[in-house]
Amino acid sequence: MEFLKTLGIKTKNRGASTGTSWSSSTKSGELEVVSPVDGTILASVYLASEDDYRNCIVAAKRAFNEWRSVPAPHRGEIVRQISNVLRTKKEPLGTLVSWEMGKSLQEGMGEVQEMIDICDFAVGQSRQLYGFTMASERPEHRLYDQYHPLGIVGIISAFNFPVAVWSWNAMISAVCGDTSIWKPSSKTPLTAIAVQNILATIIKANDLPEGIFNLIIGSGSSIGELMLQDTALPLLSVTGSTPVGRHAATTVANRLGRCILELGGNNAIILTPQANLNLAIPAIVFSAVGTAGQRCTSTRRVIVHEALYDQVKQALLRAYKSLQIGTPLDETIHVGPLIDQHAVSDYFNALNALEEQGGTILCGNRLLEGEGFESGCYVEPVLAEAENSFAIVQQETFAPILYLIRYSGGVENAIAIQNDVVQGLSSSIFTDNLQEAELFLSATGSDCGLANVNIGTSGAEIGGAFGGEKETGGGRESGSDAWKSYMRRQTNTINYGKEMPLAQGITFTI
């Protein structure tokens, strides 16, 4: 595959890098990377050892001492150069994303575009690491706050966005003056190696120190656990399931570190009687089956008013029957494969539980076999009728399973159903009624971190802060003021007078 060579991917690859240097360790075992597209082995990676991790930490510490003193706009210039190289590598890197993860080629290219976009955002942010000046109650005093580089940022990313989520964290933290160490998912390590090779060209061209961008490939139980317990990492960004996030949060909190958690979603779209179905149906279908339902923002539930229920049900059935399933490298295909056999098992286990709990499967529930489906990872998207109270509906299944839920009465009832899950990531309402839309966006409306009107639950832009509430973890990444998470805040008071007045009117004489 020519795109692998273009990205510097070898038949056998090393699993740890401090920038331009790669580990020679092979003692931790070798990981074969199997494509969910057709079951072929793309390449293999030698997993990193504990010594490799320690070497990365030493390099990151050393680089931080230098990088934090580089003016922020100059750090932004390095990120701008990264953006430019990503533009030249968009096609091969996007193709690798599709081959390794299984998302459509369009989505693979879109993920690289998201990396480019966040780089551009970070370049602008490098000139806006601003603090505020406040009025002091004491005469001839100035009171203000400012932000300083924090240290080494640990990034633990998931398979479904193998490069974009890393870029949210790494590019913003880089302009903030931090160094980073990245542990990608063991299911998608090749895209991480490709990105590290891209970074190496910038490091060499600018004579930058080793350790600004570090890569470590290993299991969560070994390398991941080292990162969680390491006091050298003041901040960890963790993307994954809620159980993974809960363990990360308690472990890091025990050493008084910080976490940015991006965990599970159980996202819903509400359709009121005022919904425009010409907008709603395509949005629902894309949000539910895009990336084969393997986005944290994928739509899992559609909450439909009883006046529209039968019409919506029939419209969705027609749409589902028209879906084309197959290799994601074919741009006419709507649905590609699940990531691996474990995901296929989760798909069938969820459907068995649904029927046991009283739900009805309207379409889907089949593993596709034969020519073009050799990997055994292709399943039919499922449309099912369910109740929000079902235990399986309360869970997040990372698969293209969409539950139809009926509601009656006012939109308040639909919002209550939507909020009645432990997750709180993304949410949407389709309505042309201004009062319904504003209620949904109000303090008594959606309890999610993302709330949309007349668009689906997936496809967030990088300009806004991304993250959710409740068991989604409460973290925020990407745009808005998410950059503040990667810095340490300092309040400063300057006395430029010749007296020593105390705050709160206290007097102290000696």
Catalytic residues: 262, 296
Nearest to 179 by CA among 128, 216, 137: 216
Note whether 112 and 86 are within 8 A (CB). yes
Mapping DSSP onto H, E and C, the string for 101-130 reads HCCCHHHHHHHHHHHHHHHHHHHHHCCCCC
Beta bridge partners of 271: 304, 430
C-alpha 213/C-alpha 395 separation (Å) is 36
Please compute, for residue 302, the number of CA atoms within 13 A of its CA located in the half-sphere on the CB side: 31
C-alpha 195/C-alpha 184 separation (Å) is 11
What token pair was written down for 441? 């966006």
C-alpha 429/C-alpha 115 separation (Å) is 28
C-alpha 389/C-alpha 303 separation (Å) is 13
C-alpha 107/C-alpha 339 separation (Å) is 15
**Going edge to edge, which strands form the sheet with 426-430?**
360-363, 382-385, 401-407, 299-305, 267-271, 426-430, 450-453
Helical (H) or strand (E) element with 456: none
